[in-house]
Amino acid sequence: MAQTSSPPSTSQPAQSSVPSLAALWAKKYYTSVTSVEKPSQLANNRNFKEVTTTEGRKYTAKKLIDNLTLASAQAWSMTETLLSEEIRRHDINPDLVNPLEIAADTRHLFQKVLAAYAERSTPRRLSVIVGKDFGQVRQKYTSIDRRAIGFVSMQFHYTGQKLLKWLSPPEQVLWKPYLKVMDDHMYMPLQAAYEAAANHPYDSPALAAVRHLLPVSSKIAVSVCQKICHLHPDYKTYSGSLHEIQVKTASIRDVEMFQVYLCLCVLENHIQSVQQELFPLCVMLYPCLHVKWKLVQDMLQAMGWQIHEYLPAEPMATFLPYLRIFSEMFAGEVFQND
């Protein structure tokens, strides 16, 4: 196991590390989406300018709120179709997967984000505004059986996808960055990472390593997904080809997710979050999504090389033991009977 002694308590605690890491994630995120979600032809489009006004944003937010209940119901139908058999197969307590409660929590989070959207909060600011709320929902569903968050994540993702159909192309361009912030906070243990960072002294090597990785994690994810598309050009998942935009977006998010869990392992100085949450979720979700383990293994190998390329030697040395553990846990030998 990659375990070392806990960070010394004699140094000054990193009291600012929670907002610091949150701000790092927000900046990284903002940079990644603004380079994609600002087509010049739309930015000069009259309709695009209209939807960016305060009134335009309020109109979009109201339209989505009015359709939120229907989208949530449709999303649960999709989630149930995908995962209902997994409750029995993985011996998950059905009481932990209450569709009405999950839908209600999903609607609450969407309503909060839509209120911020209507008030012209930026996506960069949004990740700080709603981070704690998403962390609380994640904590609620992972406190008894961490696999329950898989149902919440899929419900949340499908709700967001269903809502898009009520938006015009300019509205979609403006709304999608907010949707990605929400998806990221639901799929990834970001709040747990922020809280773990707060337990470290400011000069902690673990904290320094995470500060190096987070800002480049999106670039790494994009490069990794390009590599996987090259290695598996004809591969099709449950949602389509690896080259399709929806699948590509989800793939990039998953590589980012693995990096956040990697950061959490370093900050917590153990691999419990992977053993109890990430690995069981992958075992439950990936077969349903037609993601083969060879794909995951190739992704982890490419991710390790990309991190090595982007990071200096010292932070890389901090991550290396955990990268090895990730590779061992998802190795072909583990799934040889699959």
CA distance 154 to 133: 18
Domain match, 173 and 206 both:
no
Each residue's pLDDT tens digit, 304-318: 999 999 999 999 999
Each residue's pLDDT tens digit, 227-273: 999 999 999 999 999 999 989 999 999 999 999 999 999 999 999 99
Domain match, 38 and 173 both:
yes
Domain match, 328 and 184 both:
no
Domain match, 25 and 142 both:
yes
Each residue's pLDDT tens digit, 279-336: 999 999 999 999 999 999 999 999 999 999 999 999 999 999 999 999 999 998 999 7
Helix (H, G, I), strand (E, B) or coil at 323: helix
- Choose one of 172, 192, 212: the last residue of a domain: 192
User: Is 176 within a domain?
Assistant: yes
User: Is 338 within a domain?
Assistant: no
User: Is 6 within a domain?
Assistant: no
- Choose one of 142, 169, 192: the last residue of a domain: 192
Of 75, 285, 92, 253, the closest CA to residue 176 belongs to 253
User: Is 4 within a domain?
Assistant: no
User: Is 275 within a domain?
Assistant: yes
Based on the structure, what is the number of domains in the chain?
2
Domain match, 171 and 28 both:
yes
Domain match, 216 and 177 both:
no
For the chain, what is the mean pLDDT? 89
Give pTM, 2 decimals: 0.87
Structural domain of 93:
16-192
User: Is 26 within a domain?
Assistant: yes
- Choose one of 139, 163, 192: the last residue of a domain: 192
Domain match, 165 and 237 both:
no
Domain match, 31 and 180 both:
yes
Domain match, 108 and 233 both:
no
Residues 6+ apart with CB under 8 A from 23: 128
Please say if the pLDDT value at position 16 is more than 70: no
Domain match, 83 and 38 both:
yes
- Residue 325 is part of a domain; what is its CATH number? 1.10.490.20
Domain match, 251 and 176 both:
no
User: Is 8 within a domain?
Assistant: no
Domain match, 61 and 133 both:
yes
Q: Where do runs of H (alpha helix) occur along the chain?
A: 17-34, 40-43, 46-52, 54-66, 68-89, 99-118, 123-129, 131-142, 148-164, 169-187, 190-197, 205-213, 217-231, 245-268, 272-273, 279-288, 293-310, 313-329
User: Is 138 within a domain?
Assistant: yes
